[in-house]
Amino acid sequence: MKDTLLLIRNIANQTKAPDEVMYWLEDVQESFDQALKAIDEGQAK
């Protein structure tokens, strides 16, 4: 999923996506990073 998020972000940047799209992509990235951290720390399964 990490690679997919990077691909989507790159496409959005190249196509001059609206600010709202970039905002939500950042939100998804932050949530994904938090989930990976929780898994690494044994807080999530």
Determine, yes or no, domain membership for 19.
yes
Determine, yes or no, domain membership for 13.
yes
Quote the pLDDT of residue 21.
Answer: 96
Determine, yes or no, domain membership for 8.
yes
Determine, yes or no, domain membership for 18.
yes
Structure-derived torsion over alpha carbons of residues 10, 2, 29, 15, reported in degrees to the nearest 10: 10
Q: Rounded to two decimals, what is the model's pTM?
A: 0.78
Burial label for 9, CB within 10 Å (0-12, 13-18, 19+), is middle
Three-state DSSP class for 42? Answer: coil
Element (DSSP H or E) covering residue 26: helix 19-40
Determine, yes or no, domain membership for 45.
no
**What's the domain count of the chain?**
1
pLDDT tens track for 11-41: 999 999 999 999 999 999 999 999 999 999 9
Q: Does pLDDT of 45 surpass 80?
A: no
Q: Which two tokens stand for residue 37?
A: 């951290």
Quote the pLDDT of residue 1.
Answer: 87
Can you give the residue range of the structural domain that contains 9? 2-39
